[in-house]
Amino acid sequence: MSARTDAVNAVTVIMNETRDVAQLSGLLTEDARLYAPGVGLDVRGREEVITATRKLQGAGPKYRELRAPIEFENFVVAFLEIDLNGEVAHMCQTWRFEGEKIAGCYAIRA
């Protein structure tokens, strides 16, 4: 596993277990982007991404990896199952990196 895949896995741990969204700060570039049209998110900037993630996390979703993440060049793709109070959906996340930092997450629900 690489540092990039480790970073993607760390986000899942933050969302499911530690619930401390401030930990994302060290994983994100200053101008990181979160694009998740299924939940109406399109934000830019580290602090804006953390704020949006905190609000999303407040709904209490649980994430489960469906396949091992796939890494190619500066991208990591992850396939997840999201359980939000018994409503289950599948999602593809494409993570873009600059060096070892997350520069963007693009999340599309199936």
Average pLDDT over residues 21-33: 95
Q: Identify the domain containing residue 71 by its residue range.
A: 3-109
> 78: pLDDT confidence band, cut at 50, 70 and 90?
very high
The type of residue at 97 is F
Average pLDDT of the chain is: 93
pLDDT reading at 25 higher than 90: yes
> 81: pLDDT confidence band, cut at 50, 70 and 90?
very high
Give me the pLDDT at residue 19, please.
84
What is the spatial distance between Cα 7 and Cα 9, in angstroms, rounded to a whole number? 5
Give me the pLDDT at residue 69, please.
95
What is the spatial distance between Cα 96 and Cα 89, in angstroms, rounded to a whole number? 22
Contact residues for 59 (Cβ-Cβ < 8 A; gap 6+): 84
Contact residues for 40 (Cβ-Cβ < 8 A; gap 6+): none
Q: What is the number of structural domains in the chain?
A: 1
Query: Which token pair is 97?
Result: 């990196």
Give me the pLDDT at residue 57, please.
81
Q: Which residues lie across from 106 on neighbouring strands?
A: 35, 94
Q: What DSSP string describes 12-47?
A: HHIIIII--GGGGGGGEEEEEEEEEGGGTEEEESHH
Task: Encode pLDDT of 39-65 as tens digits.
Answer: 899 999 999 999 999 888 877 889 999
How many alpha carbons fall within 13 Å on the CB side of residue 40?
2
CATH number at residue 59: 3.10.450.50
